[in-house]
Amino acid sequence: MSKEQTKKDFYALDEAAVFSEVDSSKNGLTKEEAASRLETYGPNELEEGEKRSTLQKFIDQFKDFMIVVLLIAAIISGTIGGEMADAIIILVVVIVNAVLGVFQENKAEEAIDALKKMASPMANVKRSGEIVQVKSGELVPGDVIIMEAGDVVPADIRLYNTNSLKVEEAALTGESVPVEKSLESVEAGAAIGDRTNMAFSSTNVTYGRGEGVVVSTGMNTEVGNIANMLQNTEEKKTPLQQNQDNLGKSLTILILIIAALMFVIGFGFNDRPWLDMLMVSISVAVAAIPEGLPAISTIILALGTQAMAKENALIRKLPAVETLGGTEVICSDKTGTLTQNKMTIEKVYYNGQLHGANEEIDLNLPVMRVMNFANDTKVAEDRSLIGDPTETALVQFGFDKGFELKAALNDMPRVSEVPFDSDRKLMSTIHKDKDSFYVATKGAPDELLKRCTSILKDGEIVPLTNADRKTILDQNHALAVQALRVLAMAFKTIDTVPSKVDTETVEQDLVFAGLVGMIDPERPEAKAAIAEAKSAGIRTIMITGDHKDTASAIAARLGILDENAANNAILTGAQLDDILEHEFENTVQNYSVYARVSPEHKVRIVKAWQKQGKVVAMTGDGVNDAPSLKQSDIGVGMGITGTEVSKGASDMVLADDNFATIVNAVKEGRKVFANIQKAVQYLLSANLGEVLTLFVATLLGWTILEPIHLLWINLVTDVFPAIALGLEEPEEDIMEQKPRGRSSNFFSNGVFPSMIYQGIYEGAITLFVFWLANYYYGFELHIAEAMAFLTLGFIQLAHAYNSKSVFKSLFSVGPFGNKMLNYATILSLGLILLVVFVPGLNTIFGIYDMTGQQWMIVIIAALSIIPFVEIVKAILRGVGYDDKVNQNK
């Protein structure tokens, strides 16, 4: 076991204190000391959490209470009762569900593996003052690292020397642009994105060079902290799984009580043989327990998965389909999810006027030339751009307007430069132009203005006045308030290149050319998707590592923030740290935007909403999103921009990174749950009818159905129509209803009362037909039993059509629109008639010698459930009960 590394805020210490803490120097460690520390601290790798074997996972699938009862019933049926067919069917259903459960669990363990793959394979290290390459896994605290553009940072490093170093940290912090690194100490408690003197493991160097000392490795790094949170995130059951568990447990206990009562009454009071009553009781238990429900749910979910895949929503875990339908809160990452993760020019200011990026612009204007010349972007053969996102945005703007950079540089080649420096915040290039040289300078507006003495106005260079300076600074402020990143452009012409090219000889007496405002813009479809989600009762929360002003501006543009309540509805990570846990849980609904947050904050936000009883979806694409993706009820990863880590922690992946796809997926999820409810209503009303039939008959001392009758009906009428109901199209008002939420279950939305009255009617009609046949008409017992058997079977098939909608009339939703339901009904009907007309089988089932009158009684009785349910539905609609339980807005 490796030794725990000292937890220190190294970013808050000065250089000397950092080296003292890690017991090292700028010459690095000796090979012997590095080897000793590797032995002490262990390799610079992410640890894997304890994993269960596939066999353990498989066994765990059988710990469900309903599954245990079913297995016991199957064993008794197959041994004492001799009903091997039913026992085999139960075992097959249980095993298939166990295999699916193991498969889903294995897929969910990919996140940590993906994190490990992000590590840098090699690193440039100083050992005894010499630079050598070592495997990143062999790095230890105290090692001195040299990094340059293109490197992956191999550990958490405190920088002590930088040269225009920029590091892209979006995957870790969510900040949309590379961070300029500096050497100044940072105040203790600063957010990760503000620790500018640190470079973090698994981030990418995009510009410049840097040197630093390793302060944390392996699981002690910030990315290791994320891996640790992933391992320790408690696996939660989805609302669907919780519903199935609760339903199964409650039904099983109730049914076992009823079966035991039937045995006692039949054997103890009606003097029926104990073995007969045991088999009847087991038959009732097996018939009434919806053992096919897990399989049917799985099939309906799988069908929903296929439908979602066509809409670019790829489901990794089946229950996620249904969970989407219950979503009440979507916590969305900003960068790459709500925005394009691509800096884009929005405004250009020149000649005293502000222009939109979509307006025409003179390609000969100095502002256009400077933004392209003072730029280190590389243009590939396919015209793709390589470089810092801010600089590539400037070149892309030129491309879009028709500015040909390569041709311009051929005419005016770069001959020298003053590289960007984070202290002066400027960059300049010098270009040969016929008989003179052209200086192009870009940088921070306030710094650049200090070096300007002139300004370009309508093609003329005139002296820069104090009024001009104020106007430019006011314009800079106005753009900054809109969360635009602002750069200033300036130029001048010189006769010769100075012998010493530096800021003093080049960046003086400049001519101000203009300002450029850019931003990582919102996705065009995101605003409409957020509005649609709002109309469906779903609240969108934006969470980002970006600055508060940027987050506020984007949120307002997207419609997440009401501009009047903008300041009150935004919380930064630092402010969140000052709020106690219980206080935040009670006030979380007050905030719509979170800025400058860490991975721990994201998890805390999700948990707070869950404490409010909300079903929470979390979208994200970075490593920093992985813990919250896993903590949420449904994690939604990005398929294009998303890291493998975020995808591995997700329940669903958007193939097109389109926020609007989530809304389509929510609609499909609502449809799936509604269809599972239809299947539950159908199954349980049928099972209730069977239980009531046998229970009342036992009380009355009737022998109404043989065990084989009940088991055959249960086999042929349960599965096929229930699966077909899973293919029902969504009802028109499905997105006008409020989200179901966590409190919803299979019995909500009017399903429970419908199941009760419909089940009672099925049982009552079956008992009535038996009474009519045996006691009123005096038919033989085997004829009365056959009529009861056929009535119970046929009435269930007719009732499948009633289950197409809880409240709407069968005739308004299209009675025969679902072709699969029609086919399933025909198949089930054929299987029932099989035991009636096939010689030998009809003898076993005791169904023979029935007259036309007897058939007519059965058919009329079975079909009577349709007008009966239609009348009840009409009454419920008339009193407004449907709107009340469906929470229509």
Instruction: Please provide the distance, in angstroms rounded to a whole number, between the alpha carbons at the two ends of the chain.
Output: 58
Q: Token pair for residue 348?
A: 């250009």
| Distance between CA atoms of residues 153 and 201, nearest Å | 5
Q: Token pair for residue 41?
A: 């601290």
Q: Which helix (H) or strand (E) holds 697?
A: helix 659-700
Alpha-carbon torsion, ordered 549, 555, 556, 560, to 10 deg: -150
Bridge-based pairing state of the strands 510-519 and 344-350: antiparallel
| Distance between CA atoms of residues 214 and 41, nearest Å | 13
| 209 backbone dihedrals φ, ψ, rounded to 5° | -135, 165
DSSP letter for 516, please: E
Q: What is the DSSP annotation of 262-305?
A: HHIIIIIIS---HHHHHHHHHHHHHHHS-TTHHHHHHHHHHHHH
| Distance between CA atoms of residues 630 and 649, nearest Å | 5
CA separation, residue 633 to residues 308, 330, 586 (Å): 18, 10, 20
| Distance between CA atoms of residues 220 and 799, nearest Å | 61
Q: At what angle do helices 293-310 and 659-700 cross, to 10 degrees?
A: 160
Contact at 8 Å (CB) between 145 and 155? yes
| Distance between CA atoms of residues 319 and 244, nearest Å | 11
Asked about 421 being catalytic, the answer comes back as no
- State which amino acid sits at residue 388: D
Beta-ladder partners of 452: 510
Q: At what angle do helices 707-725 and 659-700 cross, to 10 degrees?
A: 160
| Distance between CA atoms of residues 530 and 551, nearest Å | 16
DSSP letter for 405, please: H
Neighbours of 695 (CB within 10 A): 18
Contact at 8 Å (CB) between 376 and 388? yes
| Distance between CA atoms of residues 307 and 91, nearest Å | 30
CA separation, residue 188 to residues 14, 192, 352, 594 (Å): 12, 11, 43, 21
Which one of the listed residues 64, 143, 333, 621 is annotated catalytic? 333
| Distance between CA atoms of residues 315 and 323, nearest Å | 11
Contact at 8 Å (CB) between 623 and 201? no
- Residues acting as catalytic residues: 333
